[in-house]
């Protein structure tokens, strides 16, 4: 396959390089990724400022294109200008840290894959559930196996796939579970600090999921399953439309 590879941790991130190395023997890989970390940018795009593209080497060899924009920008610019429309898959990751539950909305990694689907390509986001000293080896291997299986599956490419992989030794992983995105509340807080000049600032920190349903990404990943969640980009709350049609609004 001709694969557009991107991420939100930046073009030099270990997770992206691991995926490149695992896939480059079997596929043609085009790397177009943010020049630096752009985590939690969600589906942000850059309209007010111009975008610039730099060729980037890894060691002595050309590796890909670094863009001063968001993951979604990278996908758009790659397809419209840098690589062209002849690609078979938009692959985003491997992200450092899981992208499950409400956090899917904040994820630049997932938004890049969604942008691929919006533009008419299959899109896959891959994340590893580890922040400290992540080992991407199994996650990259799993992704290469996943691609081999997926191309034979019915209706592959119609949905964005959000894949999350536990940071466990392969023999401890319980299998694959196809699950929903959890929408349960996150317990989150801000830490209030004072800078050396006496000014207050806030840092967002310490979130915790409240989800209990085992058929959700949050719980299944935590239990040791690789989770795969099909995502769409239609935000319409279908069931609400009929309720709203009964509303009377006077103006």
115: left (phi over 0), alpha (psi -120 to 50) or beta: alpha
Contact 179, 217 (CB under 8 A): yes
Radius of gyration of the chain measured on its C-alpha atoms? 19
Q: State which of positions 82-111 bind its own copies (CB under 8 A).
A: 102, 104-106, 111
Contact 3, 30 (CB under 8 A): yes
CB 103 to its own copies: min, Å? 10
Q: Enumerate residues 6+ apart whose C-beta is below 8 A from 99.
A: 107, 109, 110, 125, 127, 162, 164
Contact 96, 134 (CB under 8 A): yes
| Residue of 25, 55, 154, 171 that binds its own copies (CB under 8 A) | 154
Which region, judged by CB under 8 A, interacts with its own copies, from 11-19, 85-93, 128-136, 148-156? Answer: 148-156
Q: State which of positions 5-34 bind its own copies (CB under 8 A).
A: none
CB 5 to its own copies: min, Å? 20
Which region, judged by CB under 8 A, interacts with its own copies, from 11-19, 57-65, 129-137, 155-163? Answer: 155-163
Which region, judged by CB under 8 A, interacts with its own copies, from 23-31, 57-65, 77-85, 125-133? Answer: 77-85
Residue 192 engages its own copies in binding (rule: CB under 8 A): yes
Size of the site for its own copies (CB under 8 A): 82
DSSP letter for 188, please: E
Q: State which of positions 32-71 bind its own copies (CB under 8 A).
A: 37, 39-48, 50-53
């Amino acid at each position: 396959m001709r694969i557009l590879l991107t991420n939100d941790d930046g073009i030099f991130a270990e997770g992206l390089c691991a995926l490149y190395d695992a896939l480059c023997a079997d596929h043609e890989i085009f790397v177009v990724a943010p020049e630096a970390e752009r985590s939690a940018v969600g589906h942000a795009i850059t309209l007010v400022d111009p975008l610039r593209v730099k060729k980037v080497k890894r060691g002595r060899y050309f590796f890909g294109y670094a863009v001063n924009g968001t993951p979604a920008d990278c996908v758009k610019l790659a397809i419209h200008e840098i690589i062209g429309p002849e690609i078979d898959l938009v692959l985003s990751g491997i992200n450092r840290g899981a992208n499950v539950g409400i956090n899917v909305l904040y994820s630049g990694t997932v938004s890049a894959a969604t942008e691929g689907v919006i533009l008419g390509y299959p899109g896959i986001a891959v994340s590893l559930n580890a922040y400290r000293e992540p080992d991407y080896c199994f996650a990259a291997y799993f992704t290469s196996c996943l691609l081999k299986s997926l191309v034979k599956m019915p209706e592959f490419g119609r949905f964005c796939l959000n894949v999350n992989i536990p940071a466990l030794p392969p023999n401890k992983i319980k299998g694959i579970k196809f699950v929903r995105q959890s929408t349960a509340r996150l317990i989150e807080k801000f830490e209030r600090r004072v800078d050396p000049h006496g000014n207050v600032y806030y840092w967002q920190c310490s979130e915790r999921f409240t989800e209990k349903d085992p058929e959700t990404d949050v719980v299944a990943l935590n239990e040791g399953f690789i989770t795969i969640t099909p995502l769409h980009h239609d935000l319409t709350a279908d069931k609400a439309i009929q309720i709203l049609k009964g509303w009377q609004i006077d103006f």
